[in-house]
């Protein structure tokens, strides 16, 4: 067939299941966010004004056209959406009001569904109802598990072991008597952590395959994986790229001035919330015994953990909810249902957690604790199971890993570039040799 | 009698389009026209241009032909009111309303034939005052969109005080003694001139003008005493008068977009960022630099100029439309820059070059020059190097997909065209402006037509075509009304 080379490449005008120009994909990206990216006329304002994008491979102009054309391969192997922190400069200056910043957000949502081989996140992002059903079903599982393990009413002790039995008869038990921490560990925390880790790691491997392994242009030297590891850890904890979301003019100002002007508020709140979350996650899963204690006079490190994290979660979630409601920042103008689910669940987790803690400290023993604990678990476990691998929470993993992968590719390209220069001389020699041989 | 009652055509704007329409109407029919121009001279924006594209001939050369046509036409058929603005226009409602029969207080063209320039004869003044009193009494304000009854329009006009009369011989003695200075708005405020000044070398009416905001009047009077021709009267007053018109041609033209609003491009912040209209003045022999393209910060001859296209145009944050001429204007400027300063480099940043039809040739001409570079990608940021005054432009070079930082001596922003949309009160009809302020729809029933950039963004050549079109519409409207 000596047809049109474009056709031989597989551009299908009728727009069905094609891997190069996927028109279904264009619709998907449109539905998953609020960006009118089809209005883009490729002037490049967005890439040029972006304070974060690199000089050699700037974004988001290329993502705009890839999305318009539904270039699935390009988009799947693209790490740049994760390198964007949505300062909104591109959207503010876009002459077509095509909102490139919002497109990058849509692409992050879409990429989450791409890395997820189970297909669950696609459902969650597609439909609000699916997300509610998913959260609810995990909550039901928790409920049943709890009912089997601990029953549906607070167990009552008959002995005079704890407290002074004024009523003589049934005695209310302390939290650890009702719900032993080791049982929570073995029946809730550990299975959950195993499942979540397995899922998330497999998704990350999927991401690695699509973005690094499938890229035939770059071969990463093995050593680099270790030498670049620091960037992963550093970026995970500092989210330093957030602070660079500013134009060149503003970058000349001192750190303290920018801090006092509130330019770092969003970033610092984000770091506060994230570290609180991570602290609490590790604390609860690994050191549950510290928290679930009958001792009213807890140890110093527990207080530090507890208070830092509680304040971080409550303050952070309220801050971001406020930003999303007032819609003043570019990045807070549009909220997908998964964004709201994340904030609301996190707030409710923190709220019920603090309430539980308060009851333990001031009211223990109390039958309230039993129900509160159940409620708390019915919120926190669905949140973790659904949000961590399948939804918005996953960005906590994907962002630093994307920076890590991008750093790997960039370094490797530099090394290869140096190699290619050396190799460029080689063919000449080969030809010479060939002539000589003749 | 019928002839006496025939009303003139009102032309709003005495630029190239307005003058062209006036000439076409008067040359093709027995009708007379009244041209109202807010500047003290006719000719409008073209006079501020250095050269026309694509032939690169001087712009006043093209306008000269029109001045000749004016002079060779029947005297009095075209009447100019310079330094004048229209305050109010209303559609005349009823033929039998009494007010309209007072033919003698209406400033018909027949009664008002007077020599150029804008006259300030006592007769004129008298009737003007009379009309001003009558104005507004007999108008029915119940039809907002107009009913196109063909009775014509009543127009209230205000002419600024004419301190210098036709006796002026432009000898220039007055300016020599004038102690006050004003910013030269003809040169986009890039230099200064005396408070009594001649607007430009081809000024028509050819006489001096006084800037009332700067002149000290009674406390100075130096010019009045030095003038040998009795041409200066510092006690002249503003005049308000009414006229009637059969139909209206809106040729109110344009102004460059306020580039200061494009905050990321640094106009107004950095001296060496100028607009395309300023570039025209810099290149003009009668401009602030005597025709040498020198950059504003230090007067250095420019070696490396960047042209930034679509500065405001095609941008929903500024002007959503394409201004139609900026690509060609920048190509033209790039070509004459390269001719004037052969050492120089020219770089044009564009989204896409729009040179329709035969203008493609002109693009190819610019392309063929090896020191003219074209970079596809819009400039998103401009920064100044404080020590040298040079500028850094940030853009994505779309064709290579890489971000670039480009250093230039001077940046010319291709600022778009904004329709002037004169502030005219209209009580019983409406000018049908579109969302961007252009009067594109030719409202045939109302007898309101448009030409030039008042109609849509256009170059001089298409403006003249639109003027001819408008002239034909005016005559057809008149004929239909009678028939």
Residue A62: its pLDDT value, please?
Answer: 95
ipTM over 0.85: no
The model's pLDDT over A68-121, given as tens digits with 9 standing for 90+, comes to 999 998 999 999 999 999 989 999 999 999 999 999 999 999 999 999 999 999
The Cα of A312 is separated from the nearest Cα of chain B by a number of Å equal to: 37
The C-alpha atoms of residue A123 and residue B76 are separated, in whole angstroms, by: 80
Chain B, nearest residue to A54 by Cα: B403
Chain A, nearest residue to B351 by Cα: A43
Residue A41 near chain B (CB below 8 Å)? yes
The model's pLDDT over A191-236, given as tens digits with 9 standing for 90+, comes to 888 999 999 999 999 999 999 988 888 888 888 888 888 888 888 8
The Cα of A322 is separated from the nearest Cα of chain B by a number of Å equal to: 27
Question: Cα–Cα–Cα angle for A401, A404, A405, nearest 5°?
Answer: 90
Burial of A37 (0-12, 13-18, 19+ CB in 10 A): buried
Cβ contacts of residue B400 below 8 Å, gap of 6+?
Answer: none
Are the C-beta atoms of residues A56 and B404 closer than 8 Å to each other?
Answer: no
Q: Do A45 and B317 touch (CB under 8 A)?
A: no
The C-alpha atoms of residue B169 and residue B295 are separated, in whole angstroms, by: 35
Residue A367: its pLDDT value, please?
Answer: 78
Best residue in B403, B404, B416 for a mutation probing chain A (most A CBs within 10 Å): B403
A124: pLDDT strictly greater than 70: yes
Of B315, B377, B383, the CB nearest to A44: B377
The C-alpha atoms of residue B39 and residue B198 are separated, in whole angstroms, by: 12
A165 DSSP assignment: -
Q: Do A44 and B310 touch (CB under 8 A)?
A: no
Best residue in A39, A42, A47, A62 for a mutation probing chain B (most B CBs within 10 Å): A47
Mean pLDDT over the full length of chain A = 82
Are the C-beta atoms of residues B89 and B42 closer than 8 Å to each other?
Answer: no
| Residues in chain A within 8 Å Cβ distance of B265 | none
Q: Do A49 and B403 touch (CB under 8 A)?
A: no
Burial of A297 (0-12, 13-18, 19+ CB in 10 A): exposed
Long-range contacts, stretch B215-221, CB < 8 angstroms, 24+ apart: B215/B163, B215/B180, B216/B179, B216/B180, B220/B179, B220/B180
Residue A55 near chain B (CB below 8 Å)? yes
pTM to 2 decimals?
Answer: 0.85
What's the CATH architecture for A5-115? Orthogonal Bundle (1.10)
The C-alpha atoms of residue A405 and residue B96 are separated, in whole angstroms, by: 86
User: In chain A, where does the domain assigned CATH 1.10.1060.10 lie?
Assistant: 5-115
| Residues in chain A within 8 Å Cβ distance of B310 | 43, 95
Residue A56 near chain B (CB below 8 Å)? yes
Q: Do B380 and A249 touch (CB under 8 A)?
A: no
B1 DSSP assignment: -
Q: Do A95 and B264 touch (CB under 8 A)?
A: no
- Please give the share of chain A, as a percent, with pLDDT higher than 90: 39
Residue A157: its pLDDT value, please?
Answer: 59
Residue B232 pairs in a beta bridge with: B164
Structural domains in chain B, CATH included, are: 2-160+238-253+420-482 (3.50.50.60), 173-226 (no CATH), 258-417 (3.50.50.60)
The C-alpha atoms of residue B398 and residue B386 are separated, in whole angstroms, by: 29
Cβ contacts of residue B430 below 8 Å, gap of 6+?
Answer: B144, B145, B146
Q: Do B402 and A55 touch (CB under 8 A)?
A: yes
Helix (H) or strand (E) holding B393: strand B391-397
Q: Which of A3-12, A298-307, B374-383 has the lowest mean pLDDT?
A: A3-12
Residue A252 near chain B (CB below 8 Å)? no
Query: Mean pLDDT across the stretch A11-36?
Result: 74
| Residues in chain A within 8 Å Cβ distance of B383 | 248-249
| Three-state DSSP class for residue B181 | strand
Chain B, nearest residue to A45 by Cα: B380
- Please give the share of chain A, as a percent, with pLDDT higher than 70: 81
Q: Do A48 and B377 touch (CB under 8 A)?
A: yes
The Cα of A83 is separated from the nearest Cα of chain B by a number of Å equal to: 16
């Amino acid at each position: 067939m000596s047809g049109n080379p474009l056709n031989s490449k597989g551009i299908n005008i009728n727009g069905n299941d094609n891997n190069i120009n996927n028109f279904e994909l264009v619709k998907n990206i449109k539905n998953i966010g609020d960006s009118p990216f089809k209005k883009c006329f490729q002037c490049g304002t967005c890439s040029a004004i972006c304070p974060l994008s690199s000089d050699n491979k700037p974004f988001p102009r290329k993502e705009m056209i890839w999305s318009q054309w539904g270039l699935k391969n390009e988009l799947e192997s693209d790490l740049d959406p994760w390198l964007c922190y949505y300062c909104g400069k591109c959207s503010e200056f876009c002459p077509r009001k095509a909102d490139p910043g919002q497109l990058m957000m849509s692409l992050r949502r879409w990429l989450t569904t791409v890395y997820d081989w189970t297909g669950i996140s696609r459902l969650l992002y597609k439909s609000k109802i699916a997300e509610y059903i998913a959260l609810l079903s995990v909550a039901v599982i928790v409920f049943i598990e709890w009912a089997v393990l601990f029953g549906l009413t607070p167990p009552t002790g008959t002995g005079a072991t704890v407290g002074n039995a004024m009523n003589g008869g049934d005695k209310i038990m302390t939290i650890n008597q009702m719900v032993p921490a080791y049982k929570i560990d073995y029946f809730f925390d550990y299975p959950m952590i195993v499942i979540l880790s397995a899922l998330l790691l497999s998704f990350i491997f999927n991401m690695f395959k699509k973005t690094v392994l499938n890229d035939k242009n770059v071969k990463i030297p093995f050593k680099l994986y270790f030498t670049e590891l620091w960037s992963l850890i550093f970026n995970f904890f500092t989210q330093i790229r957030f602070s660079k979301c500013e134009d060149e003019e503003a970058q000349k100002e001192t750190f303290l001035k920018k801090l006092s002007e509130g330019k770092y508020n969003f970033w610092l709140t984000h770091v506060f919330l994230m570290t609180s979350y991570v602290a609490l996650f590790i604390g609860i899963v690994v050191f549950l015994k510290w928290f679930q204690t009958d001792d009213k006079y807890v140890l110093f490190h527990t207080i530090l953990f507890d208070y830092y994290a509680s304040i971080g979660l409550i303050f952070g979630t309220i801050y971001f909810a406020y930003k999303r409601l007032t819609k003043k920042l570019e990045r807070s103008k549009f909220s997908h249902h998964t964004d709201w689910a994340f904030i609301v669940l996190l707030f409710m987790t923190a709220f019920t957690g603090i309430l539980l803690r308060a009851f333990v400290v001031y009211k223990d023993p109390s039958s309230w604790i039993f129900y509160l604990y159940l409620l708390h678990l019915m919120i926190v476990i669905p949140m973790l199971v659904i949000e961590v691998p399948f939804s918005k929470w996953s960005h906590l993993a994907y962002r630093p890993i994307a920076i890590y992968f991008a750093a790997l590719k960039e370094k490797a390209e530099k090394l290869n570039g140096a190699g290619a220069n050396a190799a460029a001389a080689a063919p000449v020699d080969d030809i010479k040799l060939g002539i000589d041989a003749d | 009698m019928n002839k006496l009652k025939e009303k003139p055509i009102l032309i709003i704007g005495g630029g190239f389009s307005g003058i062209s329409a006036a000439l076409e109407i008067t040359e093709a029919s027995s009708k007379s026209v009244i041209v109202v121009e807010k500047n003290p001279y006719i000719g409008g924006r073209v006079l501020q241009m250095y050269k026309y594209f694509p032939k690169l001939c001087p712009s006043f050369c093209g306008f000269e032909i029109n001045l000749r046509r004016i002079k060779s036409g029947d005297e009095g058929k075209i009447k100019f009111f310079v330094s004048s603005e229209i305050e109010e226009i209303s559609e005349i409602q009823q033929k039998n309303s009494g007010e309209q029969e007072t033919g003698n207080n209406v400033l018909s063209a027949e009664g008002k034939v007077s020599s150029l320039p804008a006259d300030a004869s006592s007769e004129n003044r008298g009737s003007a005052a009379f009309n001003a009193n009558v104005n507004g009494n007999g108008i029915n304000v119940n039809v907002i969109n107009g009913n196109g009854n063909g009775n014509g329009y009543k127009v209230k006009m205000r002419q600024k005080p004419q301190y210098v009369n036709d006796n002026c011989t432009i000898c220039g003695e007055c300016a020599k003694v004038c102690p006050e200075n004003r910013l030269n708005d003809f040169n986009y405020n890039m230099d200064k001139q005396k408070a009594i000044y001649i607007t430009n070398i081809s000024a028509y009416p050819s006489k001096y003008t006084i800037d009332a905001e700067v002149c000290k009047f009674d406390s100075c009077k130096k010019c009045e005493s030095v003038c040998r021709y009795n041409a200066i009267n510092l006690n002249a007053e503003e005049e308000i008068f009414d006229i009637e018109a059969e139909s209206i041609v809106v040729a109110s033209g344009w102004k460059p977009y306020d580039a200061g609003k494009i905050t990321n491009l640094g106009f107004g912040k950095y001296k060496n960022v100028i607009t395309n209209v300023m570039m025209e003045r810099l290149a003009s022999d009668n401009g602030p630099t005597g025709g040498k393209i020198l950059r504003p910060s230090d007067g250095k001859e420019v070696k490396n100029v960047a042209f930034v296209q679509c500065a405001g145009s095609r941008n929903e944050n500024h002007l959503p439309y394409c201004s139609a001429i900026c690509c060609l204007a920048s190509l033209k400027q790039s070509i004459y820059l390269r001719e004037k300063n052969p050492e120089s480099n020219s770089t044009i940043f564009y989204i896409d070059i729009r040179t329709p039809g035969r203008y493609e040739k002109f693009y190819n001409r610019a392309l063929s020059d090896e020191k003219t570079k074209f970079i596809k990608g819009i400039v998103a940021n401009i920064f100044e190097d404080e020590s040298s005054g040079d500028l850094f432009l940030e853009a994505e070079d779309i064709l290579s997909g890489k971000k670039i930082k480009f250093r230039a001596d001077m940046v010319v922003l291709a600022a778009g065209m904004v329709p002037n949309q004169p502030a005219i009160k209209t009580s019983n009809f409406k000018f049908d402006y579109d969302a961007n302020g252009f009067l594109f729809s030719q409202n045939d029933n109302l007898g309101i037509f448009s030409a030039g950039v008042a109609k849509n963004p256009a170059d001089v050549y298409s403006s003249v075509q639109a003027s001819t079109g408008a002239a034909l519409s005016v005559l057809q409207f008149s004929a239909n009304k009678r028939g």
